[in-house]
């Protein structure tokens, strides 16, 4: 299951009414759309929407957006993850731009594990014999995105690739 969160510019949200979503699941494959039926803060997303679903994994990231929110905001998100079912693995995926700024909130938690995205991406770029980014030097090419997702999944399952 996937929820899109555009940092400070948009709150986490969805296109299916939340009660219907929790009862029946999503109506369509994962995709982004401008129409939203609901929006909540990230900590409320975790506590009110994700918690009842009892996922095996929760992976969150701040993305690329510079965020000026207070430490209270990040602490609330960390605590929300810690309140999930004990079998849920909470993973904070650092970002390529602003992640290290927020990472300390999640590093000091026994429940959250930190996936070092930028470190893994830099290793992949150094080992790669093909172009990893588009010309904008920011967006990853599809093959690189797939490799990074494989690394994240392996990290979630404690496997080295």
pLDDT, tens digit, 9 for 90 and up, residues 117-157:
888 888 888 888 778 877 766 677 888 888 888 999 999 98
What pLDDT does residue 97 have? Answer: 63
Torsion of CA 141, 130, 156, 13, to 10 degrees: -10
CA distance 111 to 81: 8
> Which residues have CB under 8 Å from 109's CB, separation 6+?
78, 81, 82, 90
CA distance 153 to 14: 24
User: Would you say residue 32 has pLDDT above 70?
Assistant: no
What pLDDT does residue 8 have? Answer: 52
What pLDDT does residue 81 have? Answer: 93
What predicted TM-score, i.e. pTM, was given to this entire model?
A: 0.74
């Amino acid at each position: 299951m996937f929820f899109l969160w555009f940092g400070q510019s948009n709150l986490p949200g969805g296109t299916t009414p939340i009660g219907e979503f929790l009862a029946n699941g999503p109506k369509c494959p994962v995709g982004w759309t401008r129409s939203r039926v609901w929006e909540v803060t990230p900590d409320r997303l975790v506590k009110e929407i994700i918690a009842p679903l009892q996922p095996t994994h929760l992976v969150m990231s701040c993305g690329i957006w510079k965020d000026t929110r207070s430490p209270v905001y990040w602490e609330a998100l960390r605590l929300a993850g810690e309140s999930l079912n004990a079998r849920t693995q909470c993973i904070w995926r650092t970002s390529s731009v602003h992640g290290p700024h927020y990472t300390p909130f999640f590093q000091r938690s026994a429940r959250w594990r930190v996936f070092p995205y930028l470190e893994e991406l830099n290793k992949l770029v150094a080992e790669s014999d093909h172009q990893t980014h588009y010309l904008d030097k920011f967006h990853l090419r599809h093959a690189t995105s797939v490799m990074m997702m494989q690394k994240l999944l392996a990290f979630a399952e404690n496997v080295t690739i």
